[in-house]
Structure 1
Amino acid sequence: MTRSGSDFRGWYWWAFVATSILVPIVSIALAVFFASQGREYADQWASILSFVVTSLVASAAMIGWLRQRAKSRGGLGTLDVAEPEADAVAARAQRLAAKVEQVWKSEELRQRLLDPEPLPVSWRTVGPPVSDHWRVIGGKDTPIDLDGSLDDLYHIVHTKLPRKRLVALGEPGAGKTSLVMRFVLACLSAREQADPVPVILRLSTWTPSQQPIVGWIYARLAVDYDYDPAEPLGLHWLLLILDGLDEMPASEREQALTQINAAFSARYPLVLTCRTAEYLVTIDSQQADVLTAAAAIELKPLDTAAIRDYLIITTKPARLPEWSKVFAELTANPDGELAHGLSTPLALSLARMAYAERAANPDYLLTFTTRHDLEAHLLTELVPALYSGSTSHRRGSHSAFPRRSGRSGAYEQPRLAWSADAARNWLSFLARQFGRRGISSPGLTDVVPPLVYDVIRSLLTGLCAGTAFDVAAGPARGALVGTAMAVATFIYAFITDLPESAATSQVKSWTVTSTLFAAVLGFLTMGIGLRDDQTIIIVLVTALWFQVTLSRGLIALQVALLDFAVVHTAMTWPSVSPYAIGLAAFVTILAVSVLSASRPRLFLACAILAASGRLPWKVAAFLDDGYQRGVLRKVGDLYYFRHELLRQQLAHKE
Structure 2
Amino acid sequence: MTNELGTRIRQLRVRACLTQEQLAKRTTVSVSTIRRLETGKLTDHRLSTLRLLVEALDVEPEEWRRLTALLDRTQPVPVGRPPSAGESAPAVQQTPPAEAPAPARAEPLQVPAPATPSPGGVVGAAAESLAREVARRWQREEKHRRLHDPFPLPVRYEPAPAVLMDRPENVQRLPPEAPVRDLDLSGDLRTLADTYRTIESQRLVVLGRAGSGKSALAIKFALDLLAAPQPPLRVPVILGIGSWDPLTVTPRDLLVDHLLRDHPHLARTTPQGATLAAELVDSDLILPVLDGFDELAESLRGPALEALNETSHPLVLTSRGDEYAQAVTDSNAPLVLAACIELADLSVEDLDAYLPRTDRLSASLGSPGAAGVWGAVLEALRSPGTTAGAQLRQVLGTPLMVTLARTIYSDVPGNDPAELLDTARFPTGRHIEEHLLANFVPTVYRRRTPERSVPAPRQPNRDPDRAERWLGYLAHSLTTAGHEGHDLAWWRLGASVRTPTRILYTALLGGLCMFVANWLVLLIAVLAGYLPSVDESAAFTVAVFGLYSAFTFGIAHCVLAALRRAVAVPTQVRLRLAAVDPRVDHRPVREMLTRFGVGFLGGAMLGVGHTWTTALARVLAGTLPYADVIDAAIRDMLVFAVIFGLTAGLAFGLVAAFEVPVDIAAAATPMRLLSVNRGTAIRQSLVLATVVTVGLALCGAVVVRLLQPILPWKMMWPMEEALVLGAVGGLGGSAAYAMAFTAWGQWLTVTRFWLPLTRKLPWDTAAFLDDAYRRGVLRQAGAVYQFRHVRLQQHLARSYRETDQAPDM
Provide the TM-score with structure 1 as the length reference: 0.73
Unaligned runs of 5+ in 2: 1-31, 46-117, 269-275, 365-370, 480-484, 523-532, 566-593, 655-687, 709-713, 801-809
Indicate which of 92, 96, 102 corresponds to 2:136. 102
The residue that corresponds to 2:572 in the other structure is none
Q: Aligned residue for 2:249?
A: 211
Task: Output the CA distance in 1 between the equivalents of 2:129 and 2:438.
Answer: 40
Corresponding residue number in structure 1 for 2:16: none
Contact 2:491–2:743, Cα closer than 8 Å, also in 1: yes
Q: Which amino acid is 2:789 matched to?
A: H
Q: Return the letter of the residue paired with 1:202.
A: G
Deviation of 1:343 (Å): 1.1
In the TM superposition, what whole-angstrom CA distance separates every residue of 1:341-366 from its partner, at most 9, and x where no partner exists? 11111001110110122121212212
SS at match of 1:652: helix
Match of 2:769 in 1: 623
Structure with more of its chain in helix, by fraction: 1
Give the aligned length: 559
* 5+ residue gaps, structure 1: 1-74, 401-412
In structure 1, C-alpha distance between the alignment counterparts of 2:186 and 2:138, rounded to whole Å: 25
**Counterpart contact for 2:356–2:372, Cα < 8 Å:** no
1:381 aligns with 2:439: yes
Q: Deviations over 1:24-54 (max 9, x none)?
A: xxxxxxxxxxxxxxxxxxxxxxxxxxxxxxx
Kindly state the Cα deviation for residue 147 of structure 1 after the two structures are TM-superposed.
Answer: 2.2
Q: Which amino acid aligns with 2:168?
A: W
State which drifts further: 521-530 or 330-339: 521-530
Aligned equivalent of 1:272: 317
Cα deviation for residue 592 of structure 1 reads 2.0
Q: SS at 2:149's partner residue?
A: coil
Task: Give, in whole Å, the separation in 2 of the partners of 1:480 and 1:306.
Answer: 72
Cα 1:473–1:215 shift into 2, 3 Å: same
AA aligned to 2:354 is Y
- Asked whether the 8 Å contact 1:513–1:543 carries over to 2, the reply is no
Shift of 1:176: 0.7
Are 1:428 and 2:472 counterparts?
yes
- The DSSP-based 3-state class of the residue aligned with 2:130 is helix
Q: Distance in 2 between matches of 1:547 and 1:391?
A: 60
CA deviation digits over 1:511-551, x for unaligned, max 9? 97899799779977873456977873467437865998899
Task: Show CA shifts across 1:594-647 (max 9, x none).
Answer: 423444433222122233332223322222222222221113232111111111
- How big is the shift at 1:171? 0.7
Structure 2 counterpart of 1:299: 343
Aligned mates of 2:119, 2:340 — CA distance in 1:
35
Q: 1:543 to 1:429 in 2, by over 3 A?
A: farther
Aligned to 1:149: 188
Residue 275 of structure 1: how far off its partner (Å): 0.7
Alpha-carbon distance, 1:269 to partner: 2.7
Flag the 1:440–1:519 CA change in 2: closer, same or farther, 3 A. same
| CA distance, structure 1, for counterparts of residue 338 and residue 264 of structure 2 | 29
Partner of 1:126: 160
**Residue in structure 2 matched with residue 419 of structure 1 by the alignment:** 463
Query: In the aligned structure 2, how far is the partner of 1:99 from the partner of 1:593?
Result: 33
Q: CA deviation at 1:92?
A: 3.8
Pairing 1:398-547 to 2, within 5 Å after superposition: 398=454, 414-434=458-478, 436-448=485-497, 450-451=502-503, 452-461=505-514, 474=537, 478=541, 481-482=544-545, 485-486=548-549, 488-489=551-552, 492-500=555-563, 527-529=626-628, 536-537=635-636, 540-541=639-640
Report the CA distance between 1:501 and its aligned residue: 8.8
CA separation of 1:595 and 1:544: change in aligned 2, threshold 3 A = farther
Shift of 1:560: 5.4
1:372 is matched with 430
Contact in 1 for aligned 2:458/2:771 (Cα 8 Å): no
* Matching of residues 40-79 of structure 1 within 5 Å: none
Whether the 8 Å CA contact 2:603–2:647 is kept in 1: the answer is: no
Aligned to 1:346: 400
Q: Which residue does the alignment assign to 1:614? A: 760
Equivalent residue letter for 2:417: P
Change (3 A) 1:104 1:566: same
Query: 1:311 Cα deviation (Å)?
Result: 1.4
1:603 aligned to 2:762?
no
Contact 1:165–1:293 (8 Å) recurs in 2:
yes
Q: Distance in 1 between matches of 2:536 and 2:181?
A: 91
Aligned to 1:565: 701
Asked if structure 1 preserves the Cα contact closer than 8 Å seen for 2:700 and 2:717, the reply is no
Is 2:390 the counterpart of 1:336?
A: yes
Say if 1:291 and 1:562 are closer, same or farther in 2 by CA, change over 3 A: farther
Report Cα offsets for 1:476-518 as digits up to 9, x if no partner.
9748844762564255235314323999x99998997899799
Show the counterpart of 1:397: 453
Aligned counterparts of 1:182 and 1:81: Cα–Cα separation in 2: 34
Q: Summarize the Cα distance change of 1:110–1:566 in structure 2 as closer, same or farther, 3 Å threshold.
A: same
Q: Match for residue 363 of structure 1?
A: 418
| SS of corresponding position for 1:588 | helix
Deviations 1:543-585 (CA, angstroms, capped at 9, x unpaired): 865998899946697575555334666555599x965766544
Structural mapping, 1:229-248, within 5 Å:
229-230=267-268, 231=276, 232-233=279-280, 234-248=282-296
Deviation at 1:293, TM superposition (A): 1.0
What's the C-alpha RMSD, in Å, of the aligned pairs?
A: 4.3
- SS of the counterpart of 2:330? coil
* Identity percentage of aligned residues: 27
Output the amino acid matched with 2:764.
K
Instruction: Give the drift of 1:82.
Output: 2.2
2:363 is the alignment partner of 1:318: yes
Of 183, 186, 201, which residue of structure 1 is paired with 2:224? 186
Query: CA–CA distance in 1 between the matches of 2:717 and 2:402?
Result: 81
Contact 1:253 / 1:282 at 8 angstroms: preserved in 2?
Answer: yes
Distance verdict in 2 for CA 1:426–1:290, change over 3 Å: same
Equivalent in 557, 581, 588 of residue 732 of structure 2: 588
Change (3 A) 1:620 1:82: same
